[in-house]
Amino acid sequence: MEVTSLCLLLSATLNIHPHRSHFFWYEHIALSCETAALTSGNWTVKRNTSSQTFEPCSAGWGIPQGSSCIVQYAYPADSGVYWCESEQGCCSSSLNITIAGGAVIIAAPPLPVTEGDEVTLSCHYREDENGKATSNFSAKYYKNGVFRGTYPTGTMTFTSVSTSDEGFYTCEHPTQGESPQSWMSIRGRAQPPPLPPPPPPVLSVPRLVCIILLIIVYVVLSVVCVTVHRKWARARAEAKRASDQL
C-alpha cells in the first residue's frame, strides 16, 4: 500500500508512541505530526487501510487533537500506511503500522535509523488482551528468515548498526510462537562537507622587509645604470662632434 497523493515537501515528521510499528489488539497508539519551525498551516494524520484510502483521522477510528491523532483501541483493521498531510497537499514520509492478532510481536524502529547508531529490538509477549505485555524471557531472533541467535533478556542490540543489518526481523517466544516480521531500514550517515581550501600563505615581517629592500636595490641600480649610460652616450656624441669639426 503506497501513498500516491502529490506531495512536494517533506516538511513534517509522523511520530508514533509507543515507538514501534507493531502493536497488540486494543493497544493505545498516539500519532502526531511534528513540523519544521518555518512550516505553516494545519496538518492531519491520514491513512490507507485494506478497506479505506486517504482516510483522515476521525471519530470512526481515531480521536483528532490538532495535528495529532489518538487510536484508543487498535484493531487488525487499523493496520495500514499512515502519514501527515497539510492543507496544501504536502506530506511527511509514511509509516507502516501492523496490529497483530497473535500473542507475540517484535518492537523495531518504525522509521529509518542512521548508520552507526545503537539500535535495540525487543520481543513482546501478551498472554491475553487484558494482560500486560512482557519482554522478560529468552527470545530467538531471525533476519530474513535466518536464525541470528538466542537472547536471554528478550532484546537484541546493535551497538553500531550498519546498512548490512537492514532487513526483515522476527522474534520467537519459547512456547508461544513467532512474531510477524518487521522491516528495519538503515540510512547511510551523511558525509561531512568538504574542507574549504587553505588560505594563501601570509608573508612574515622579515620576509616582507627583504622583498621591499630587494625592490629598492633593483630600482636604485636601474636608475644608476640609466644615468651612467646617458652620460656615456652624451660624452661619445660630443667627442664625435669635435672630431668632425677638425
Domains, the chain, ordered by start: 1-101 (2.60.40.10), 102-188 (2.60.40.10)
Question: Is 206 or 54 the better-scoring residue by pLDDT?
Answer: 54
Residues above pLDDT 70, as percent of the chain = 92
Give me the residue label for grid cell 546498512: 163
Q: Are the C-beta atoms of 126 and 107 separated by less than 8 Å?
A: no
Pairing of strands 104-107, 63-65: unpaired
Question: What pLDDT digit, counting tens, does each position of 100-121 carry?
Answer: 989 999 999 999 999 999 999 9
**238 Cα distance to chain centroid:** 89
Q: Do 144 and 170 meet the contact criterion of CB atoms below 8 Å apart?
A: no
Grid coordinates of 239: 667627442
> Does this model's pTM top 0.95?
no
Confidence band for 207, pLDDT divided at 50, 70 and 90: confident
- pLDDT score of 39 more than 90: no
